[in-house]
Amino acid sequence: MHNQTFMRTYSPRQEALARKAAQQRDNQSFENLASSDLLTQYRIKSEPYYRMVADEIELYEAAYSVRMPIMLKGPTGCGKTRFVEYMAWKLNKPLITVACNEDMTASDLIGRYLLDASGTRWQDGPLAVAARYGAICYLDEVVEARQDTIVAIHTLTDARRMLPLEKKGEVIEAHPDFQLVISYNPGYQSLMKDLKQSTKQRFGALDFDYPEHDIEAEIVAHESGINLDIAKKLVHIAERARNLKGHGLDEGLSTRMLIYAGSLIYKGVQPLAACRVALVRPITDDPDMRDALDSAVTTYF
């Protein structure tokens, strides 16, 4: 079945990608010269702080080795964006992040013609840049984009790995380093806004959640500068608040919010005031919920 003729294009994905990457390395002298400036700004300059939770790093590396598109699932502020930054740094690939929104058109992703002194000039969009020169393209909160704009990524997420620039009449074959990553928060799924099955099935998925107690405290302490004791108190408060999710709170307190509170405390703000500003007031306007959260704060500080 491993017919040599087939092998030229339809051999197992990873072998083909390896071969292609090798070729690319040989004749990249010129093209990479042109693109090196462009991609430099998308490189992660130093190791981002990331605290491994389970086997997510290993699984991502395997997925990247076969260039499987990846979907990061989890609540807001639990570390999805930091994880993809860390992986881009670890794999030494440029990372192009796109914050998706409902007004984003396919042209915003793919590219458009701009008017120049000498007529129109084509400008690649972030997805086309990533596909052409070999970056990881991270579509943040992809469920915000119109479902049908998302269809534009389909040709990049199956065996074809190509991106037709219909307006330009060009077809980009994805660079062997290119990978597509998307994030989304299952809590926001609704009848109106969910990914279609034909999109979901094009991605492997990694689940994320708030880290467990000790790891989260370690992260909060590291990021805010406060000591581990105070960090643990903040995590205790967060855990109480997360139990209220669905019972008056739409979403629990995120790790990011704890870091905000810790930062204020580190700057000398009283813990009660810091928690009021950074944890309680942003998350709810309901007087009862505020009381419940405030009393959780006073339990620990």
How are beta strands 162-165 and 170-173 bridged, if at all?
Answer: antiparallel
Counted residue by residue, the chain has a size of 301
* 189 sits near its own copies (criterion: CB under 8 A): yes
Closest CA to 235 of 250, 210, 217, 215: 217
User: Which of these ranges, 20-28, 103-111, 233-241, 291-299, lies near its own copies under the rule CB under 8 A?
Assistant: 103-111
Q: Residue 83: count other Cβ atoms within 10 Å of its Cβ.
A: 24
Should residue 4 be labelled a site residue for its own copies when binding is judged by CB under 8 A? no
Other beta carbons less than 10 A from residue 95's beta carbon:
23
13 binds its own copies (CB under 8 A): yes
Min separation Cβ 23 and its own copies, Å: 14
> Which phi and psi angles does 102 have, rounded to 5°?
-65, -25
233 vs 276 by CB, closer to its own copies: 276
Site residues for its own copies, 130-149, by CB under 8 A, read 140-141, 144, 146-149
Phi, psi at 113, each rounded to 5°? -85, 135
Q: Is the dihedral of CA 10, 16, 17, 23 positive or negative?
A: negative
Cβ atoms of 284 and 248 within 8 Å: the answer is yes
> Minimal distance in Å, beta carbon 141 to its own copies?
6
The residue among 2 and 30 lying less far from its own copies, judged by its C-beta, is: 2
Q: Sketch the per residue contact string, 203 through 222, with its own copies: x for CB under 8 A, - otherwise.
A: xxxxx----------x--xx
Q: Does 77 bind its own copies (CB under 8 A)?
A: yes
In the bound complex, what is the minimum distance in angstroms from residue 48's beta carbon to its own copies?
6
Residues between 231 and 260 with contacts to its own copies, criterion CB under 8 A: 250-251, 253-254, 256-257, 260
Residue 231 is inside which H or E element, if any? helix 228-243
Contacts by 223-232 with C-beta closer than 8 Å and gap 24+? 223/49, 223/259, 223/262, 224/258, 224/259, 224/260, 224/261, 224/262, 224/263, 224/265, 224/266, 225/262, 225/263, 225/266, 226/262, 226/265, 226/266, 230/262, 230/265, 230/271, 231/258, 231/262
291 binds its own copies (CB under 8 A): no
User: Does the footprint of its own copies cover residue 192 (CB under 8 A)?
Assistant: no
Give min distance, CB of 99 to its own copies, in A.
Answer: 5
225 binds its own copies (CB under 8 A): yes
Is residue 115 near its own copies by the rule CB under 8 A? yes
Instruction: Indicate which single residue of 71, 87, 244, 293 sits in contact with its own copies (rule: CB under 8 A).
Output: 71
Q: Does 289 bind its own copies (CB under 8 A)?
A: no
Q: Which residues pair with 140 in a beta bridge?
A: 99
Is 160 a residue that touches its own copies (CB under 8 A)?
A: yes
With contacts defined by CB under 8 A, name the span among 22-30, 100-108, 234-242, 291-299 that binds its own copies: 100-108
Of 264 and 292, which CB lies nearer to its own copies in the complex structure?
Answer: 264
CA distances from 262 to 49, 166, 295, 298 (A): 17, 50, 18, 15
Per CB under 8 A, 23 contacts its own copies:
no
Number of residues that bind its own copies (CB under 8 A): 119
Using CB under 8 A, which of 76, 239, 300, 301 touches its own copies?
Answer: 76
